[in-house]
C-alpha cells in the first residue's frame, strides 16, 4: 500500500485545523488556521526551525502563495488560550487511545517535570524557578505523564505557573485525567523530586502503586547504616513511613550498588546502595529487589521521549507563555502522532518531518487539498486492515491457516 506524503500532512492538518483546532485565528482574520499552521509545521519539521525563518523560507519558495508574515502568526498565536490548547491535546489523545485499544489492560505511566530554560527577565509571566540548567535557574516548567510500554504516548501536560508546586493537587489532577481517557494505571514511575509526604498521601488515597528513588535524609541514612551492620551489602526491604502521623506505610527497597568503589569517597556518584520507595506488594524479597530496579528503568523511556520531541522543537525568543506552551504542545502532538503511525507503517521522526515538508510544498504548489476528508482515524484503520490482510495472505501462502 502506497502511503503518500501529502496524506501525512493532510491527516495532521485535519486534526490540527479541524473543529476545536489547536490554534484559533481571530474572527475576520486575513489568513486561515491552515495558513498559519502550515508555517508552524514547516518550522517544526524543516531546518528553518523558527517562525521567522519558516516564513522567509516559504515566501522565497512560493512567492504567490498565501503565507502570513511572522508577526501575523505570532499575533494569532497570542490570541489563544493555554487551557483550550491543553484540552485539545487531551481530546486528541482520547481518540488515539480508542484507536490503539489500550484501555483494557493496566498501564505503566511515568511522571516527570520538564523544564525549558529562559534567559530573559525572571518576572516574565509564566516563568518559574527551575533547577539550575545551562546557565540559568529560571524557565518554563511542565509536568508530563507518559506511557512507557508499548505505544509510547504523552498522555497529559500541565503548564506550571505557580512558584511553589502543590504535588498533591498536580498528581491528583493527572491521575483523574488519565482515568477519563479510559486508561487504568498499574503503577506510576517518578523521580526523586516526588519523594515527599504530599505525593505519597495522594498516591495512597488514589490506590495507585508507585516506584521512585528515596531521598537519603538523615533517617534513611541511619536505616542504611543499621541495615549494613546487621545484614551486610545485600538486598533488602524495610517498611517505612514519614514522621508525620498522616503518612501511609510504604517499602524502602535497598539494592547494593555493584559499581561501588570502597577506595573512593562515598557520595552521589559512588553510592553503596540504591534505595527505592514503593507501595507494590511482594512475596519474595530476592525477586522483588531484582524487579524494582528493572521496573524503574522503564522511566527512562520518558527521557527518550524528550529527545524525540526536541526533533520537532521550534526556536523562539518570544516572552509569551501562550506561544511557548503552543510550541511545547505541538512537539508532544508530533511525538504522539509519530508513535501512533509507527503501529501501522514503518516511519521515523525524520521520515515524518520530510513527509510533512513535502506535503506543505504540494499544498502550496497546487492549492489546498480537502483536508477535512482526511481523518487520522480513517487512515490508521485503512492501513491496519491492509497490514492484517497482507499478514493473512502470507500465512495462507505458507499453509499456516
For 50-75, the pLDDT digits (tens) are 999 999 999 988 876 789 999 999 99
Is residue 191, in this structure, part of any structural domain at all? no
- pLDDT for position 144: 95
Confidence of residue 5 (pLDDT cuts 50, 70, 90): low
**Mean predicted lDDT score pLDDT of the chain:** 87
- pLDDT for position 372: 47
Spatial contact of 154 and 180, defined as CB atoms under 8 Å apart: no
List phi, psi (to 5°) of 179: -60, -40
pLDDT tens-digit series, residues 185-236: 999 999 999 999 999 999 999 999 999 999 999 999 999 999 999 999 999 9
- pLDDT for position 153: 93
- pLDDT for position 351: 85
Is residue 370, in this structure, part of any structural domain at all? yes
Is residue 154, in this structure, part of any structural domain at all? no
Is residue 66, in this structure, part of any structural domain at all? yes
Same domain for 327 and 381, yes or no, is yes
Same domain for 276 and 335, yes or no, is no
Same domain for 338 and 272, yes or no, is no
Tell me which of 266 and 194 has the higher pLDDT. 194
Per-residue pLDDT averaged across 101-126, rounded?
A: 87
Sign of the four-CA dihedral 335, 341, 345, 351: negative
pLDDT tens-digit series, residues 134-147: 888 898 899 999 99
Q: How many CB atoms lie within 10 A of CB 344?
A: 20
Task: Kindly give the pairing relationship between strand 154-160 and strand 136-147.
Answer: antiparallel
Whole domain around residue 352: which residue ranges?
5-82+315-396
Q: Is 274 helix (H, G, I), strand (E, B) or coil?
A: strand
Bridge partners (DSSP) of residue 111 are 145, 190
DSSP state of 371: G
- pLDDT for position 27: 86
Spatial contact of 255 and 289, defined as CB atoms under 8 Å apart: yes
- pLDDT for position 43: 94
- pLDDT for position 152: 92
Is residue 199, in this structure, part of any structural domain at all? no
Is residue 171, in this structure, part of any structural domain at all? no
Is residue 146, in this structure, part of any structural domain at all? no
Q: Is the pLDDT of residue 399 over 70?
A: no
Is residue 226, in this structure, part of any structural domain at all? yes
How many domains in the chain?
A: 2
Amino acid at each position: 500500500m502506497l502511503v503518500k506524503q501529502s496524506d501525512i500532512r493532510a491527516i495532521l492538518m485535519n486534526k490540527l485545523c479541524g473543529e476545536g483546532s489547536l490554534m484559533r485565528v481571530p474572527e475576520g482574520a486575513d489568513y486561515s488556521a491552515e495558513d498559519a499552521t502550515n508555517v508552524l509545521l514547516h518550522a517544526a519539521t524543516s531546518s528553518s526551525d523558527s517562525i521567522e525563518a519558516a516564513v522567509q523560507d516559504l515566501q522565497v519558495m512560493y512567492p504567490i502563495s498565501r503565507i502570513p508574515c511572522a508577526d501575523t502568526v505570532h499575533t494569532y498565536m497570542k490570541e489563544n488560550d493555554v487551557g483550550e490548547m491543553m484540552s485539545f491535546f487531551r481530546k486528541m489523545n482520547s481518540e488515539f487511545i480508542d484507536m490503539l485499544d489500550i484501555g483494557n489492560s493496566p498501564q505503566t505511566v511515568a511522571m516527570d517535570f520538564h523544564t525549558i530554560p529562559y534567559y530573559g527577565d525572571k518576572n516574565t509571566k509564566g516563568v518559574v524557578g527551575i533547577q539550575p540548567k545551562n546557565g540559568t535557574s529560571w524557565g518554563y516548567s511542565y509536568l508530563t505523564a507518559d506511557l512507557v510500554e508499548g505505544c509510547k504516548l504523552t498522555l497529559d501536560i500541565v503548564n506550571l505557573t505557580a512558584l511553589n508546586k502543590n504535588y498533591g493537587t498536580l498528581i491528583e489532577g493527572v491521575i483523574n485525567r488519565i482515568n477519563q481517557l479510559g486508561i487504568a494505571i498499574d503503577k506510576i514511575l517518578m523521580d526523586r523530586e516526588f519523594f515527599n509526604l504530599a505525593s505519597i498521601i495522594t498516591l495512597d488515597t488514589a490506590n495507585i502503586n508507585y516506584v521512585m528513588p528515596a531521598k537519603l535524609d538523615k533517617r534513611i541514612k541511619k536505616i542504611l547504616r543499621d541495615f549494613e551492620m546487621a545484614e551486610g551489602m545485600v538486598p533488602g526491604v524495610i517498611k517505612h513511613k514519614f514522621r508525620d502521623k498522616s503518612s501511609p506505610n510504604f517499602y524502602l527497597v535497598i539494592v547494593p550498588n555493584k559499581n561501588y568503589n570502597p577506595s573512593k569517597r562515598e557520595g552521589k556518584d559512588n553510592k553503596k546502595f540504591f534505595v527505592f520507595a514503593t507501595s507494590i506488594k511482594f512475596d519474595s524479597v530476592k525477586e522483588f529487589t531484582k524487579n524494582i530496579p528493572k521496573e524503574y528503568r522503564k522511566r527512562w523511556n520518558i527521557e527518550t521521549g524528550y529527545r524525540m520531541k526536541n526533533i520537532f522543537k521550534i526556536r523562539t525568543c518570544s516572552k509569551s507563555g501562550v506561544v511557548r506552551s503552543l510550541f511545547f504542545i505541538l512537539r508532544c502532538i508530533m511525538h504522539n502522532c509519530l508513535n501512533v503511525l509507527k503501529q501501522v507503517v514503518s516511519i521515523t521522526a525524520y521520515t515524518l518531518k520530510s513527509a510533512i515538508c513535502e506535503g506543505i510544498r504540494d499544498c502550496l504548489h497546487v492549492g489546498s487539498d480537502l483536508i477535512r476528508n482526511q481523518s487520522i482515524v480513517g487512515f490508521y484503520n485503512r492501513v491496519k486492515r491492509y497490514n492484517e490482510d497482507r499478514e493473512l495472505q502470507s500465512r495462507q501462502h505458507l499453509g499456516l491457516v
